[in-house]
Structure 1
């Protein structure tokens, strides 16, 4: 009889627990600051708009790095004068883009043309776990050539950094739209 009461007590005690429910899916909530732009403050053979909450780092040979400290990312900008070598510069830029084909799922090119400002170029979106997710180049085809690459200082995980890539992609489009050559 004692065993029966003991078993009944255990069943009642264990039977009073609430059902365990799976946790609902969580969504990453990233908040990005509102975009405000300013003209590049460094003296270069080119100018364009940069996001105010970035840090611009001066490099030799008219190169520069635009750092996104909150996103742990940077846009690395290289400049080369055109000396009857536009084909070589374009080939080199495309080689650097397609170096990422090993890890990339897809490379999506978008041509850019602004004839009145003499800005001609391409923007490449690279999907997948590649080292760089946006690359671009711009030229006036006679004097100036500009190339840029987006890098994150973390192991590439495309799904995780996709919102940050989309945020910075708008800045790259703004850079191309506002790009002006000083010697034209």
Structure 2
């Protein structure tokens, strides 16, 4: 029995002499395909370009859902016509919808969109944190057309986990905003 105890003690002493190796911090790596865009022609008073990796589903009226199945995400586009000079209430509703997320958001960054050549004006909101949506926007011509858009994931909002997809989709939203044309 003493022999086994001495042998165990020798192994224990020899095992403690190894250097401790600190492993680098692991990071999630998600690679998405290079984006290419094609113009969507709808039976609506607007057109735009979407990522060819997305699928387009038309909803009621001229509302459109741009789905990204590999990311389990959807960009919801809602079209409203400006009637009876209600642009102020449409702008208020779009901004309120964004700032309702301040409870869970760490920050909300605004990026204005001004395209006087195509008569497209709007705002792009980048919402950082565990909010329900990470990006929202609106565009308008201030007279006839108004479109709002927002991104939602089919997952619990954990900003750290979905961040690569958020960055990818923000670029697609910018492309949608840049390519909207009124008919």
Q: Could you tell me how far 1:21 is from its partner in structure 2? A: 4.4
Residue matched to 1:76:
76
Q: In the alignment, is residue 96 of structure 1 matched against residue 91 of structure 2?
A: no
**1: distance between equivalents of 2:10 and 2:34?**
57
TM-score between the two structures when normalised by the length of structure 1: 0.91
Q: Could you tell me how far 1:14 is from its partner in structure 2? A: 3.9
Residue matched to 2:110:
109
**1: distance between equivalents of 2:128 and 2:7?**
60
Segments of 5+ residues of structure 1 without an aligned counterpart are none
Residue matched to 2:58:
58
Report the count of equivalent residues: 180
Q: In the alignment, is residue 128 of structure 1 matched against residue 129 of structure 2?
A: yes
Residue matched to 1:158:
159
14-23 or 165-174: bigger deviation? 14-23
Segments of 5+ residues of structure 2 without an aligned counterpart are none
Other structure's SS at 2:97 match: helix
1:84-123 deviation line (CA, Å, top 9, x unaligned): 2111110111111111111111111111100010000000
Q: Is the 8 A contact 2:41 2:48 kept in 1?
A: no
**1: distance between equivalents of 2:25 and 2:107?**
28
Residue matched to 2:180:
179
**1: distance between equivalents of 2:58 and 2:38?**
16
**Runs of 4+ more than 6 Å apart:** none
| CA RMSD, 1 decimal | 1.6
